[in-house]
Chains A and B, each alone.
Chain A
Amino acid sequence: MIRVEDIHKHFGPLHVLRGITFDVPRAEALVIIGPSGSGKSTLLRCINLLVEPDQGKVFIDGVQVNRSDIRPEWARQQVGMVFQSFNLFTHLTVLDNVTLGPIRVKGMDREAAQEKGKQLLARVGLAPKAHAYPAELSGGQQQRVAIARALAMDPKAILFDEPTSALDPEYIREVLDVMAALARDGMTMVVVTHEMGFASNVAERILFIDAGVIVEEGRPEEIFQHPKHERTRAFVGKILR
């Protein structure tokens, strides 16, 4: 479903991504872990072209999307994204947050979009909050709205950029539950997270990234219990502590 080939990215003199290649088959949940500054977020943003890779190829559903004859907006419609700090549109109600994309990008008519939006909000357990504003919600609720907003575009995959890192501990569970349900329903997901519970129970595969390269990849139990590389072992030791 998603394939990146030999991705490189520079920020000025900084070589952030140094040739990363991986595949995410349909319906797989892939978790990416790695120390901060290792390029995880940049890698995610290269997939939906919020950051344009300097070199390398990004494929979504078999189509190379980082080409001059494909609009990056088209690529972004295929892949949803959920951010660490939610980034809900503060001036819009919860329902309008969810329907903005379908109405303005896909040209769906308002009634249909709202109908669908309400269903999605019900799916993340927030139907009663449809007319609230983001500032009136808890962090966990905001993040669930953000997931509904991503789903509203009928994406082929969803990217999660540390979706629980900005949450108070008591709200983490509800967001992870929604994500686990999505994975069960067969959504293709790429998740940057340090939630080891989620990674071991939901992820099919884990990539460990450090200094812009994939150091190790494997099934969760391999990575967590029998890491092959010294760097992986050190990092896993720190986060499992």
Chain B
Amino acid sequence: MAKSLEEQGRSRARIFDTIAGIVLTVGAIAFVTDLFIGRTGFNFGYVQSEIPGFLAATQLTFYVTTVSYFAGMGIGFLIGWARTARTASVRKMLRDRNAFLADDERGWETGLKTGGLVAWSGLKYVVRRIADGYVEVIRGTPLFVQIVFAWSVLIVNTPRLNQLELIAGIAALTANTGAYQGEIFRAGLQTVHSGQVEAARAVGLSRWGAMRRVVLPQALRLIIPPLTNEYIGLLKASSLLVVIGVQELTGYGKSEAFRSFKVFEVFAMVTGIYLLITVPLSKVIQAIETRLRIPGLGIQATESTSRV
């Protein structure tokens, strides 16, 4: 089939676009490389000899990220669950209850029941507000500040603590990812239809049983992609621990740069290692996402960059 003139023009333009793109990219890389290392050249020997050190630092990055991530997942689940709780103000509840008790006897049994009800919903109310506040505080402050804050708390109260920086760093990352994962869990739990819980309870499962056997399995399916995204975000965010002197990948790179003065090589390597970790991981997410997605039910991933 003969192509129309218009189509020919379009495909020619496309080829031109591609060529121009390649030329520009190569030119830009050459320019930047020259700008950065034109004077000294890239020292491959140095990079090769320093690989073990970088690997150890990468290990620490993984360690810090993974520990914080899973501790934060526990927090996130509880926070997310608490934030799905429905609460009524105690005053309103008492008013409603009094309204119909007025024309009935108010025996001690009714009183006890009312007391129990108020205590239970009061507890729910308080837990809910604490969870809300926690998420507000974490999301409303920069991670950088949270790290310095955690460090300052430890350095003031327990200055002799072993590995103080590492502990402060893990604590800050845990608290941070806890809030973000809390939002992911909340979204996931809210997506599961309320009839599912009702059916689970009707079978005789407890609150926790319904959560564990019915709601969580359905919610997890939906939130695996955003949760994995959160891991990537946290891994990148762990580079901020450089500020309190943790020798993870970025921290190690900084010390190494000052020691050897091979500044460009060091940070080229640091950048490359982060990319080697995050790019495959995000491909994995995409694969999971396309496999698990239920049309119309997907949950938006939280922006992992917005915290910094």
User: CB-defined interface of B182-216 with A at 8 Å, one 1/0 digit per residue?
Assistant: 00000000000101101111111110010001100
User: CB-defined interface of B84-123 with A at 8 Å, one 1/0 digit per residue?
Assistant: 0000000010001101100010000010110010000000
A145 to B205, CA, bound (A): 18
Cβ contacts under 8 Å, B116 to chain A: 68
* Given known contacts A54-B100, A91-B221, A83 and B206 CB-to-CB distance under 8 angstroms: no
Q: Is A80 in contact with B205, judged by CB distance below 8 angstroms?
A: no
Cβ contacts under 8 Å, A74 to chain B: 204
* Given known contacts A73-B204, A101-B205, A105-B204, A87 and B100 CB-to-CB distance under 8 angstroms: no
CB-contacts of A88-132 with B (<8 A)? 88-91, 100-101, 104-106
Q: Is B217 an interface residue (CB 8 A)?
A: yes
Cβ contacts under 8 Å, A100 to chain B: 203, 205, 213-214
A180 to B23, CA, bound (A): 78
B42 CB to nearest chain A CB (Å): 53
Number of interface residues of A (CB under 8 A): 31
Q: Is B214 in contact with A89, judged by CB distance below 8 angstroms?
A: yes
B94 CB to nearest chain A CB (Å): 12
A53 to B116, CA, bound (A): 15
B74 CB to nearest chain A CB (Å): 22
Q: Is B239 an interface residue (CB 8 A)?
A: no
- Please report A residues at the B interface, Cβ cutoff 8 Å: 8, 10, 12-13, 15, 48, 50, 54-55, 68, 73-74, 76-77, 80-81, 83, 85, 87-91, 100-101, 104-106, 146, 149, 153
Closest 9 CB pairs of A and B: A87-B199, A101-B203, A77-B204, A87-B195, A81-B202, A105-B204, A76-B204, A91-B217, A91-B218
A76 to B200, CA, bound (A): 10
Q: Is B195 in contact with A83, judged by CB distance below 8 angstroms?
A: yes
Q: Is B198 in contact with A83, judged by CB distance below 8 angstroms?
A: yes
Interface of B is mostly: helix
Q: Is A105 in contact with B100, judged by CB distance below 8 angstroms?
A: no
Contact of B196 among A89, A104, A105, A106 (CB under 8 A): A89
Q: Is A48 in contact with B202, judged by CB distance below 8 angstroms?
A: yes
A8 to B135, CA, bound (A): 39
Q: A81-B202, A101-B203 are in contact. List 17 more A-B contacts (CB 8 A).
A: A10-B96, A10-B97, A10-B99, A10-B100, A13-B96, A50-B202, A68-B112, A68-B113, A73-B205, A87-B195, A87-B199, A89-B199, A90-B218, A100-B203, A100-B214, A101-B204, A104-B213
Cβ contacts under 8 Å, B201 to chain A: 50, 73, 76
Q: Which residue of B lies closest to A96 (CB)?
A: B213
Q: Which residue of B lies closest to A106 (CB)?
A: B204
Cβ contacts under 8 Å, A153 to chain B: 203-204
Cβ contacts under 8 Å, B198 to chain A: 50, 83, 87
A129 to B99, CA, bound (A): 51
A76 to B201, CA, bound (A): 8
Cβ contacts under 8 Å, B218 to chain A: 89-91
Q: Is B99 in contact with A105, judged by CB distance below 8 angstroms?
A: no
Cβ contacts under 8 Å, B213 to chain A: 100, 104
Cβ contacts under 8 Å, A83 to chain B: 195, 198-199, 202
* 13 residue pairs A–B, Cβ–Cβ below 8 Å: A10-B100, A15-B100, A54-B97, A55-B100, A83-B195, A85-B195, A87-B195, A87-B196, A89-B214, A89-B218, A90-B196, A91-B217, A100-B214
* Given known contacts A91-B221, A104-B209, A149 and B203 CB-to-CB distance under 8 angstroms: yes
Of the candidates A55, A91, A153, the one having the most CB atoms from chain B within 10 angstroms of its own CB is A91
A73 to B200, CA, bound (A): 10
A101 to B204, CA, bound (A): 7
A31 to B92, CA, bound (A): 36
Cβ contacts under 8 Å, B110 to chain A: 55
Q: Is B202 in contact with A76, judged by CB distance below 8 angstroms?
A: yes
Cβ contacts under 8 Å, A87 to chain B: 193, 195-196, 198-199
A126 CB to nearest chain B CB (Å): 18
A85 to B97, CA, bound (A): 31
A78 CB to nearest chain B CB (Å): 9
Cβ contacts under 8 Å, B92 to chain A: 12
A54 to B100, CA, bound (A): 10
Cβ contacts under 8 Å, A85 to chain B: 195
Cβ contacts under 8 Å, B99 to chain A: 10, 13
Cβ contacts under 8 Å, A68 to chain B: 112-113, 116
